[in-house]
Amino acid sequence: MPAINIEDLSEKDKLKMEVEQLRKEVKLERQPVSKCSEEIKNYIEERSGEDPLGVPEDKNPFKEKGGCVIA
């Protein structure tokens, strides 16, 4: 599919493209962000041990050195 230069299109063609895109999007199944984010978090946590780019806790330079205790 060749690339389309939007500036070269007429206003009518731009509107047709927009309507076509909106028709595609309206068919998509939507889910609440709260549900999706929980699923993503669980997915990441389940596979964290298999992460080839994972940094061991003892060698992580960004690990918090200590905590703050408010009494």
- Domains in the chain, ordered, with CATH? 6-59 (4.10.260.10)
The Cα–Cα gap between 45 and 29 comes to 25
If phi over 0 gives left and psi between -120 and 50 gives alpha, with beta otherwise, what is residue 24? alpha
CA 45 to chain CA centroid, Å, is 16
Confidence (pLDDT) at 16:
94
7-61 residue pLDDT tens: 888 999 999 999 999 999 999 999 899 899 999 999 988 988 777 677 777 887 7
Rounded (5°) CA angle 6-12-14: 30
Confidence (pLDDT) at 1:
63
CA 3 to chain CA centroid, Å, is 25
Dihedral sign (CA 11, 12, 17, 18): positive
Q: Is the pTM of this model over 0.75?
A: no
